[in-house]
Amino acid sequence: MGRRLLFLWAVISSVGLLLVLGQFPLTAQDIVFATNTPSVGVPIFATNTPVSSTASSGRPTAAPLVLATNTPQSQMMNAAPDAAADRYALRRWDDNNLTLAWMDQVRHITAGDSEHILSLQLFQYEIARRFPGTPKSAANREALLQAMLAAPLGTVDLRPVLRPFVEDALNSLKPSFNIPSIAPASIDYHNFRIIIRAANLNGQSGNGAVVIATYLPDNGSPAFRDVAMAFVDAQGIYHVPQSQSPYPVIGTTVSSSTLVDNLNGDGINELTLTVKVPDEVNNRFYIYGWRNGTVTNLVEPGKQVFYLGTPETLPDGSGFTVEEYRIEDPVWNCFGSRTVTWSWQNNFFRPPTTMPDFAPRNTVACRLSAVEPLYALSPTDALRTIGNLTAQAGPDDAEAAGRAAVMAAMLNVLDNKPDIALQQIDQLSTGTEPGTWLDEQVQAFKKAAAQPNTTPLVICAALQAASEHGACDVNSVLTRLFKEMPFNREQSIEAQASALGLRVVEQTTIHKVGRVDRPAYHFDLAGNQWWAFAPIGKEQYTAEAIATPIGFELPIPALPTVLTPPQTAYDALLERDNPAEVLNILDTLQRNRPGTPLDSAARFLQALSYDLLADRRHAQPAYYSLWYDDATSVWGQLAAAHLERR
C-alpha cells in the first residue's frame, strides 16, 4: 500500500496470527433500513431506542436496537450537507447509534480497499479512546459480531466485540483455570473454540490463563483467531480485559507462536508472541504482562525485539539473548548478524545502551559478496574465484550457488565460450522451479542467446532486465570492456558501439574549461548512465561514466497539488495516542508548503485530533468543511458521521 498502516491491533493463535482491519462509517443519516423480517438471532435497529438499562449481571448496558421502519432519513448516502454549518453540531454518540453506524460500515466492506481500512483504524481508535467498552449491550455486540464475521476475512478487527463474547462464554461454561499449562483445555461455544492455557499472570496461581479463541466458519474459510488474558475473581466471575491492546499491526497474514513464559525470573508468567511478517528478515518477539490492571508491553517503550533462531534465557533469570539479522547485500542475499542481550531493568526488558555491530555471516553468499565487483575482473579470474567459493556450498547456499552459476555462464560468453555457457544454462534448466528468480534468469539467457546477431552485452542486458538484482550489470561490463578494448579514433564511436550491440539514444559534446572537448553518449542498454570518450591518446579514446549532462536530465516530477499526511502523523495518533502531535505535524507540513491544501485524509486527521482534544470550536467546522468539500469520499462521509442536524 501507499502508506504503511500502523495501529495496535492483531489477532493471534498458537499456530498463526491474523491481522484484521476494516472500513468505517458514513453518516448515521445514510443508513437505509430493510422492512422485511430480520434473520433469526440478529437484533434489528432504531435510532430512537432508550439508551441505558441494567443487565442481569448488574453492569449497565445499552438497550438492544429495534427496527423502526419510519425512521427519518435526513441525508442520502454520499450526499453533501443540506444546510449551513450552524445547523450542525457534533454528534452525541450513544451505544445504539454508534453500533448502528459501525454495523452499516462493516456491511459495506470490500477486500483490498486500503483507504477504507485506514479510516476504520482511525474510527476504532476513536471508539476505544472515547467510548471504551462499546458496544455495551450484549445484543448490540452479538449483532455487530455477526456482521463482522460475514465481512471478507482480514478486513475487520473483531476484538472489541469478541473479548466480551469470550468473557460471556467463560462465565457460561465455567472452565477450570487450575490446569497444567502443558495440557491446555479446550471448550466450544457457538462457532468458537477456546483454548485455555493456565498462567500465573498476577501472582495468584490458579486464577489466570491465556485464552485463544478461534472462530470455526462453516464455509471452509480460514479461521479467525485472537489471544487474550483472562482471570477469575474471588466471586468466581471470569474477566477478559478489553484493553488498548499493544499488539502491533504488521500485515494481513502472518505466522505466530504463542507461549506462556517467565523470562525475568520473578515467578509470574508473561505472554510471549513470536511473529513472522512476510518479507521481513527477522521474526518479531513480543512480551506482555499483567501490570497495574492492564495488559502491558514489557519491552522498553519505543524498542522492538528482532531475532532469528530461538531466544535463550539468561542463566540468572535476568533476561534473554537473541540473534538479530540484517541484510548486508541484497544482490547476493548476504546477511549480517549480532547477538543482543535484553536485560530486565526497571520493569522493562531493555537492550544494551550501545548495540553490538553486525558481522557478515560465514556463508557462500557473503563470501561471494565480499569479492565483488566480479565483472571488473577478467573472465578467467572471475570464473576461478566463483569456482573456488561455490565449491564450499552446502544445502543452505543453494540460492547463492544458483546466482553464481548464471554469472559463470555470462562470464563464459564474455570469454568467447558460448557453447560452454549454453551447456551450463541447460544444466540449470533441469529442475528449476517456474517463476523463481533462477528460472527468470535462465529463460532470459536462452531467449537473448537465440536472437540473430546477438552480442554478449545483449545477453547481459537481458539478464539485468529479467529480474531484480539480475546476474549481470551492463555498466560494470562496459567499464571493463572500454578499458581492455578501448574505442579507436579512426572509426566513429557509433559504429564501434553498434558492434558491441549498443545503440546510441542521445549524444552531446561536453565542453569544460581546461579540458579537451569530449563526445558523450547515452546507450540503449546502459539504463540512465552516460559515457564520455576523451580523445587523450593519439589512437584511442579513454571512456568514463559521467553524470547526465545538463539539458538531458529526466523531468523533475511535479510537486503534488495537495498535501498527504506523512506516516508520522498516523503513528502519533495510533501508536503514541497524541492528537496534539498530529496537529503539530500537519501544521509543519502546511508551513513548509504554503498555499498547498491538505488532502481529505489529512483534513480528517486534523478534525479528529481537534475532537479528541475536546476542541469543539475547531472540530465542528473542520468536519463540516471536509464533508461539504468532499462528500463522496470515505473521509467526507466519516466527517459527516460526526455531525447531526440541530
In a domain, 37, yes or no: no
pLDDT at 241: 82
In a domain, 284, yes or no: no
In a domain, 214, yes or no: no
- In angstroms, rounded to a whole number, what is the distance separating the alpha carbons of residues 594 and 597? 8
- In angstroms, rounded to a whole number, what is the distance separating the alpha carbons of residues 59 and 280? 45
In a domain, 26, yes or no: no
**Is the pLDDT reported for residue 506 higher than 50?**
yes
Residues 508 and 579 both lie in one domain: no
For 287-323, the pLDDT digits (tens) are 988 888 888 889 998 899 999 998 999 988 899 999 9
- In angstroms, rounded to a whole number, what is the distance separating the alpha carbons of residues 185 and 131? 34
pLDDT-derived band at 470, boundaries 50, 70, 90: very high
Residues 631 and 614 both lie in one domain: yes
User: What's the pTM value of the predicted model, to 2 decimals?
Assistant: 0.72
The residue from 470, 485, 506 where one domain ends is 470
pLDDT-derived band at 44, boundaries 50, 70, 90: very low
Residues 389 and 427 both lie in one domain: yes
User: DSSP string covering 490-556, please?
Assistant: TS-HHHHHHHTT--EEEEEEEEETTEEEEEEEEETTSTT-EEEEE--SSSB-EEEEEPPPTT-PPPP
The residue from 414, 447, 470 where one domain ends is 470
Residues 408 and 458 both lie in one domain: yes
pLDDT-derived band at 162, boundaries 50, 70, 90: confident
In a domain, 165, yes or no: no
- In angstroms, rounded to a whole number, what is the distance separating the alpha carbons of residues 75 and 88? 13
Residues 460 and 488 both lie in one domain: no
For 570-584, the pLDDT digits (tens) are 989 987 889 999 999
- In angstroms, rounded to a whole number, what is the distance separating the alpha carbons of residues 224 and 212? 10
Q: Which residue has the higher pLDDT, 21 or 109?
A: 109
Residues 387 and 464 both lie in one domain: yes
Residues 386 and 461 both lie in one domain: yes
In a domain, 423, yes or no: yes
pLDDT at 70: 33
For 364-401, the pLDDT digits (tens) are 999 999 999 999 999 999 999 999 999 988 888 999 99
Number of domains forming the structure of the chain: 3
Across 16-30, 279-293, 499-513, least confident range: 16-30
The residue from 470, 504, 520 where one domain ends is 470
If you average pLDDT over each of 135-144, 162-171, 338-347, which comes out highest? 338-347
pLDDT at 34: 30
Residues 540 and 588 both lie in one domain: no
pLDDT at 257: 60
pLDDT at 76: 45
In a domain, 485, yes or no: yes
Residues 389 and 411 both lie in one domain: yes
Of the candidates 588, 570, 330, 350, the one whose C-alpha atom is nearest the C-alpha of residue 469 is 330
If you average pLDDT over each of 53-67, 106-120, 279-293, 381-395, which comes out highest? 381-395
**Is the pLDDT reported for residue 57 higher than 70?**
no
3-state secondary structure 581-626: HHHHHHHHHHHHCCCCCECHHHHHHHHHHHHHCCCHHHHHHHHHHH
Mean predicted lDDT score pLDDT of the chain:
82
Segment 436-462 mean pLDDT: 94
Q: Which residue has the higher pLDDT, 220 or 215?
A: 215
The answer to whether the beta carbons of residues 347 and 264 sit under 8 Å apart is: no
Angle between helices 114-130 and 567-574 (to 10 degrees): 30
Across 78-92, 142-156, 447-461, 624-638, least confident range: 142-156
Q: Residue for cell digits 493456565?
A: 198
Residues 453 and 396 both lie in one domain: yes
Chain centre to alpha carbon of residue 89: 37
Residues 410 and 482 both lie in one domain: no
Strand 192-198 versus strand 185-189 pairing type: antiparallel
> Reduced to 3 states, what is the DSSP secondary structure of residue 390?
helix
The answer to whether the beta carbons of residues 546 and 528 sit under 8 Å apart is: no
Residues 587 and 534 both lie in one domain: no
In a domain, 418, yes or no: yes
pLDDT-derived band at 620, boundaries 50, 70, 90: very high
Q: Which residue has the higher pLDDT, 10 or 420?
A: 420
Determine the structural domain holding residue 437 and report its residue range: 376-470
